[in-house]
Amino acid sequence: MCIFEELMKTLVPTLATLAFLAGLAPASAMPFYGPSGPQTSVPIAMVTARGWSECFSGPYGEFGPSIESVLGGCTGDLLMMAGGATNSGELDVLAWAPTSDVTFDTGDSNTPHDANGTGWYFNDNYSWGFAEQGGALYRNSCDYGDGDLFNTPDPLRLCWHTSGGFLAGGWRVGTVNFLNNSSEYTRYLFTADSPSAAEAPEPASIILTLTGMGYLVRRFRSRGKKA
């Protein structure tokens, strides 16, 4: 019994600490939302529940604000562009990458800057948007490289006009185009910090540890009874 008593003196404080940590940890902790490449039909609530914060939204048909002021409110090192029907609660299409990639100046060229499975383009006096990595662009000034001015069949594309350092009207979200004067669609930016590798232990890890230590206690208890 002496061995068992000594073991309990060591284990009880440890078990109490682990139980406390398990209570602090969220019961349904959600992993960071970080898919590769453009995504379609994503609930806004899911995006904001999994590491992202909305830092800008406005009607597609609105001119302004300045891009500098918009990005000033998006303070994380990751940036997501998205668009969807106004008040729908859903994003028709989104894509994300490090902010430095999303805002990499490509001038007025049709050569994108590739990052995280997405071809990005940006210039504060031409257009800003994305397509799936490898997709051909045709910017005039917004992109319809997937078809022509009146036919934009690719759902994985998004484009906003820019002018003189300001956001200008629309132009497209997925397959929907000619949104330069539309209030029926909203454009969004979300910001996030890169997930840290050194995070608090997950509940599952704590439970596994508690289970293993409980097994050891039972083993020593049974050995004590036999003695």
Tens digits of per-residue pLDDT, 109-139?
Answer: 999 999 999 999 999 999 999 999 999 999 9
Q: What share of the chain is helix, strand, coil (3-state, %, to 5)?
A: 30, 30, 40
Taking the C-alpha atoms of residue 153 and residue 157, their distance in angstroms, rounded to an integer, is 9
Average pLDDT on 142-169 reads 95
pLDDT digits (tens, 9 = 90+) for 79-116: 999 999 999 999 999 999 999 999 999 999 999 999 99
pTM, entire model: 0.76
The model's confidence at residue 170, banded by pLDDT at 50, 70 and 90, is: confident
Whether the upstream peptide bond of residue 65 has omega within 30° of 0, thus cis, is yes
Contact 80, 190 (CB under 8 A): yes
List the alpha helices (DSSP H) in 50-105. 67-72, 99-102
Contact partners, residue 85, CB within 8 Å, separation at least 6: 92, 184, 185, 186
Single out the residue of 156, 161, 158 nearest to residue 123, CA to CA.
161
Is residue 3's pLDDT more than 70? no
Contact 36, 133 (CB under 8 A): no
Chain centroid to CA 37: how far? 11
